[in-house]
């Protein structure tokens, strides 16, 4: 077993870019960096790497930041035959990274992830490609996304380098305590996405499908809801409560917005949720994630 040996710190408040278009990305990235974000998260399937690259280039010119000041994460989509998406082999994963670097106009990534564990018979081959990309200096750190304990155990059993990060859906309704405990024991840093799932209105716009069920209690429509009460108690928004919960749990978080006011608000998390409220949130776990319309990919075979 080869332990991960990362000494590179991923900023704990990252800027998520899923559903941000290539056209909107330059302005949005510029706003995020101006506000203080130093971690940008994207993926080849987001189809916005070109725009993000333009936003980064503009920010380097406008603000007193250098390439080394910004932590950039991207992801290779491994394929999924059931979706009509070709499975990527070793060579294709290498090429995917090269293509992401070209679109982003960067010489290296700070982190490169396998987006999901969809390709059972090719997962190890794909992981070996990421290990070699790290050796070549094309990415400083490597990891996975949506991997369960069993998926990561495959890598460990093969004697390969352990992932440095696992990016998974985590919020009060999806807490995955057993997986979180396993990741901590293996020194795999946890990156939480979809922190704002419990918010009323989360992904309700066209083309923003998810598996969030209609019978899930929406916090915005109930004045007695715990997040409403906490929002009033701490003098912050419900979104800030959800994001701060992730930080206090020790996760990296990836808030996303195209509105500069909300981008700024999501970065302003200097308050503390007290122990009583943190314990109450622990009781809200509903199970699997809902961000993917076809179900939580961590359940893949």
Residues carrying an active site annotation: 46
Burial, 207: exposed, middle or buried (Cβ in 10 Å; 0-12, 13-18, 19+)? exposed
As a whole number of angstroms, the distance between CA 41 and CA 255 comes to: 10
As a whole number of angstroms, the distance between CA 197 and CA 203 comes to: 8
Q: DSSP labels for 126-178?
A: HHHHHHHHHHTTSEEEEEEES--HHHHHHHHHTTPBPPSEEEEE-BTTB--HH
C-alpha pair distances (Å), 259 with each of 13, 32, 52, 171: 17, 10, 16, 22
Beta bridge partners of 167: 145, 191
């Amino acid at each position: 077993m080869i332990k991960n040996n990362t000494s590179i710190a991923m900023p704990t408040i990252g800027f998520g870019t899923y559903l941000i278009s290539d056209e909107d990305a330059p302005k949005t990235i510029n706003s995020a960096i101006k506000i203080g974000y130093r971690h940008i998260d994207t993926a080849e399937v987001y189809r916005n790497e070109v725009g993000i690259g333009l936003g980064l280039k503009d920010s380097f010119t406008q603000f007193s930041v250098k390439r080394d000041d910004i932590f950039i994460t991207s992801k290779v989509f491994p394929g999924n035959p059931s979706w009509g998406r070709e499975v990527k082999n070793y060579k294709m994963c290498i090429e995917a990274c090269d293509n992401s670097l070209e679109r982003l106009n960067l010489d290296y990534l700070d982190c490169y992830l396998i987006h999901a564990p969809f390709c059972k018979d090719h997962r190890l081959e794909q992981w070996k490609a990421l290990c070699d990309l790290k050796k070549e200096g094309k990415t400083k750190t490597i990891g996975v996304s949506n991997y369960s304990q069993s998926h990561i155990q495959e890598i460990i059993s093969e004697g390969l380098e352990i992932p440095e990060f696992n990016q998974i859906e985590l919020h009060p309704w999806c807490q995955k305590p057993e997986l979180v405990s396993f990741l901590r024991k293996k020194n795999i840093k946890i990156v939480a996405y979809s922190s704002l799932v419990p918010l009323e209105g989360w992904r309700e716009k066209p083309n923003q499908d998810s598996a969030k069920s209609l019978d899930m209690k929406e916090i915005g429509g109930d004045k007695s809801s715990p997040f409403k009460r906490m929002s009033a108690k701490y003098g912050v928004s419900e979104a800030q409560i959800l994001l701060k919960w992730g930080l206090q749990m020790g996760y990296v978080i990836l808030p996303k917005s195209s509105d500069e006011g909300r981008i700024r608000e999501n970065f302003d998390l200097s308050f503390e949720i007290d122990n009583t409220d943190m314990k109450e949130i622990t009781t809200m776990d509903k199970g699997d994630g809902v961000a993917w319309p076809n179900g939580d990919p961590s359940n893949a075979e």
